[in-house]
Amino acid sequence: MYEFAVNVDSILVILLLIVWGAAGLLAGGLSTRRRTRLLLALIGVGTVVTVARGIGTGLLWSNGWVFVADRVLVALPLLAVPMVAMFALAVPALRRIAGRRQATNGTAKTAETAKTETAGAPPTPFPVSVRVSVRTTAVAALLGAFMEYLSRPLPPYGADMAIYTGILLVAAAASRGRNPRPRRAGTRRAVAVTALVATAITGAGVYEMRTSLLPDRMSMMGHGDVDYGGGPGGSHHGSRASGAPAVKAVNAADLTGPRTGTPDRAFTLTARETSIRLGSGAVLDAWTYNGQAPGPALTVREGDLVQVTLVNRLPREGVTIHWHGLDVPNAEDGVAGVTQDAVQPGESHVYRFRADQVGTFWYHTHQRPLVGVRRGLFGSLVVLPPEGTTGEDITVMAHNWERPDGLVAAFGTSDTLDRRPVRPGTPVRLRVVNTDRNAWSDVESRNLVLLGARFRVAAIDGVDLDGPSELDGVRLSVAEGGRYDLTFVMPDRPVLLADLANPRAGLLLSPGSDGPVTAPSIPSDAPVFDPATYGTPAPVPFTRFDRDFTVIIDDRIGFHDGTLHFLPTVNGRSFPHTPVHMVRQGEVVRMTFVNRSHQVHPMHLHGHHALVLSRNGRPTTGSPWWIDTLAVQPGETYEIGFRADNPGVWMDHCHDLGHAADGMVTHLAYEGISTPYEIGHGTPNQPE
Ligand code: C2O
Ligand code: CU
């Protein structure tokens, strides 16, 4: 519904501009019969489109006030005022003119006499009421579209209203001039106006383009505006805050894991160029950790001190390792330009952290991840409880590979059916990691199905759910970067895990190892599993919030780092102009995501797990649902809450890696903590 409404709405904005713009141009000319009729027709069409937009606004409003606040409070009233004047004054005047000409025409029986009449009595300009009201309407439509473009959906709008009203008054005054202009002067004026508008648009475009450029070097602390979320203000450079206690300055590079002690588990991951073979036989040039993609499955036990040595043997590309979902100390987080410098070819880097969350996680490079992760620099990381695991414990990574014949969804490297025997009666834990977006859809995350067994969603994003009930015949919509653990007891028939984007691929668990098996067939319209209502509820651990942040997601045509894109935006801006969310250690934070855009955005906060509090204004009713990556679909609003208990400078970005590369990046910063690393073309670091 929302997608439909928002798509229609985008078309209506453009139509509105075209129709009212044409009417405005026409109103400046002479009132010949043809022009008068055309103008009346345009006013009719413009009114219909405007009313349609009003209805569309009503539909979007049902998703929440924040979806329409800017147009209800600014764009539509600005349009309504001149339109009322138009109906009160201009339309009757135009009718009179049309009627008069009609009457004259009625007596003029032949084309010959009509021509004489036209030639003999030169038509006059339209009356001032027509010129002023129609042209002001056109300018109001333009301002409305501009406001839309800015995606500035947060009131108050006092300043916007004042500026736009001023522009409208100037436009109204400028449209008053009454003297009929000779044709040539008219043409000259039209050329001048067109040139002026073209110059203004080009100027604005060049300005946007230039301000979108990433500086040669910049600190991640220095971008955008600092948002204090209604909490105490201060400086994150460690200087004294107004009225606030001084916070001791801390260097994020010092926030490491245990630097001493013998590791319980030590791994070496070497990034290199490797060709890999998919199940279908396709051979791809990949970037891998240890020559395999996905990289080695790292399995450790809770409490283990883990040490990973990253060695870079790629010919040119820098690399890092980010432990997605594991809330490690800041300096171990593996983000180029934020928590370390990208490891250059020939160099190495050591990560050390204690694995104190049990669950399913994954690791991937955070240097140009759009390229690196897509090409294979990722793997799974599973933290088992101290007592280990029983039955079959299988991790699968859903990934899209760029085959010569196009993008294909796969599990690991198998883009065809991958068969695996499991004895009936065996308890199975299937850990599904989603590394990438839905290859088919912009509005939904990856859609998976598990067929042939009743199963439970035992954990999401590495956190167990309380009281998960048995499911059957549902689609699992897993956020890009998110994980679902599915548990079931192996039945005496085959069980299939499949991605709806590629029905040919799948993991087939079969009760016997020999003989042909038929895979269960995939239903196309299974309902989507809803974590918000699944499992047994528990009291929310947060009672009040020290900070409240609102993240409005939208999209528009715009520049990022000098190139024109269809751009996802955060509060109307693209990185480096996006907000920094500032907190203090120990605070409880609420963050509200509102997706006004046309696409799904999986929002990923590093270093913290957050509890989903509500969706679309309704509190969650199921098991506590903790996430590190939350897919916010178009039209949706989510509130999440978390405790700021892991000091550092943390990425908070969209895990659609293409969106992140286009500037859908913000940060969570702790007061008093700064990072010594820098990003930009003059540094080795490109975190997105
Ligand atoms: Cu999975 Cu910022 O990353
Ligand atoms: Cu996104």
From the CA of 601, the nearest ligand is 2
End-to-end Cα distance, the chain: 32
Q: How far apart are CA 285 and CA 376, in angstroms?
A: 9
Q: How far apart are CA 564 and CA 557, in angstroms?
A: 7
Estimate the crossing angle of helix 33-61 against helix 91-107, to 10 degrees: 150
Tell me, in angstroms, the distance from the centre of ligand 1 to residue 608's CA.
12
| DSSP secondary structure string for all residues of 297-322 | -EEEETT-EEEEEEEE--SS--B--E
Q: How far apart are CA 112 and CA 108, in angstroms?
A: 9
| Residue 627 CB coordination number (10 Å) | 26
Residue closest via CA to ligand 1's atom 1 equals 324
Q: How far apart are CA 629 and CA 559, in angstroms?
A: 26
Tell me, in angstroms, the distance from the centre of ligand 1 to residue 345's CA.
22
Residue-averaged pLDDT of the chain: 90
3 state SS of 419: strand
What are φ and ψ of residue 18, in 5° steps?
-65, -50
Q: Using the atom order of ligand 1, give the atom closest to the CA of residue 687.
A: 2
Residues of the chain predicted below pLDDT 50: 106-120, 235-245
Please report the pLDDT score of residue 434 as a whole number. Answer: 98
From the CA of 369, the nearest ligand is 1
DSSP summary character for residue 430? E
pTM, 2 dp: 0.90
Give 394's strand partners.
430
Q: Under a CB-based contact definition with an 8 Å cutoff, are residues 580 and 237 in contact?
A: no
Q: Using the atom order of ligand 1, give the atom closest to the CA of residue 629.
A: 1
Question: What does the angle CA 91 – CA 94 – CA 97 come to, to the nearest 5 degrees?
Answer: 155
Determine whether 559 is exposed, middle or buried from the number of CB atoms within 10 Å of its CB (0-12, 13-18, 19+): buried
3 state SS of 525: coil
Q: Using the atom order of ligand 1, give the atom closest to the CA of residue 653.
A: 2
Please report the pLDDT score of residue 490 as a whole number. Answer: 96
**Structure tokens, 301:** 């036990």
Please report the pLDDT score of residue 181 as a whole number. Answer: 58
Tell me, in angstroms, the distance from the centre of ligand 1 to residue 171's CA.
49
Ligand 1 contacts (CB < 6 A) are 322, 324, 364, 366, 481, 604, 606, 651, 653, 655
From the CA of 339, the nearest ligand is 1
Tell me, in angstroms, the distance from the centre of ligand 2 to residue 450's CA.
26
Q: Using the atom order of ligand 1, give the atom closest to the CA of residue 325.
A: 1
3 state SS of 348: strand
Tell me, in angstroms, the distance from the centre of ligand 1 to residue 189's CA.
55
For 234: left if phi > 0, alpha if psi spans -120 to 50, otherwise beta; the answer is left
From the CA of 570, the nearest ligand is 2
Distances 407 to 415, 440, 551 between C-alpha atoms, Å:
11, 10, 31
CA nearest to 36, candidates 115, 111, 118, 112: 118
From the CA of 574, the nearest ligand is 2
Please report the pLDDT score of residue 115 as a whole number. Answer: 45
Q: Using the atom order of ligand 1, give the atom closest to the CA of residue 362.
A: 1
Question: What does the angle CA 501 – CA 503 – CA 509 come to, to the nearest 5 degrees?
Answer: 120
Q: Using the atom order of ligand 1, give the atom closest to the CA of residue 324.
A: 1
Please report the pLDDT score of residue 180 as a whole number. Answer: 53
Q: Is the peptide bond between 263 and the residue preceding it cis, with omega within 30 degrees of 0?
A: no
**Structure tokens, 107:** 């007596």
Write the pLDDT tens digit of every residue in 543-577. Answer: 899 999 999 999 988 888 888 888 999 998 899 98
**Between the CA atoms of 575, 221, 379 and 625, what dihedral angle is there, to the nearest 10 degrees?**
-80
Single-letter residue type at 657: L
Q: Using the atom order of ligand 1, give the atom closest to the CA of residue 373.
A: 1
3 state SS of 68: coil
Q: How far apart are CA 212 and CA 666, in angstroms?
A: 15
Q: How far apart are CA 27 and CA 317, in angstroms?
A: 60
Q: Using the atom order of ligand 1, give the atom closest to the CA of residue 660.
A: 2
From the CA of 480, the nearest ligand is 1
**Structure tokens, 444:** 């939904």
3 state SS of 652: strand
Please report the pLDDT score of residue 110 as a whole number. Answer: 44
Q: Which residue has the tokens 């010919």?
A: 315
Q: Under a CB-based contact definition with an 8 Å cutoff, are residues 336 and 342 in contact?
A: yes
Tell me, in angstroms, the distance from the centre of ligand 1 to residue 489's CA.
33
Q: What residues pack around ion ligand 2 (CB closer than 5 A)?
A: 568, 601, 654, 656, 659
Residue closest via CA to ligand 1's atom 3 equals 324
Please report the pLDDT score of residue 189 as a whole number. Answer: 74
What are φ and ψ of residue 531, in 5° steps?
-65, -20
Tell me, in angstroms, the distance from the centre of ligand 1 to residue 375's CA.
15
Tell me, in angstroms, the distance from the centre of ligand 2 to residue 597's CA.
9
Tell me, in angstroms, the distance from the centre of ligand 2 to residue 685's CA.
21
Tell me, in angstroms, the distance from the centre of ligand 1 to residue 378's CA.
11
Single-letter residue type at 177: G
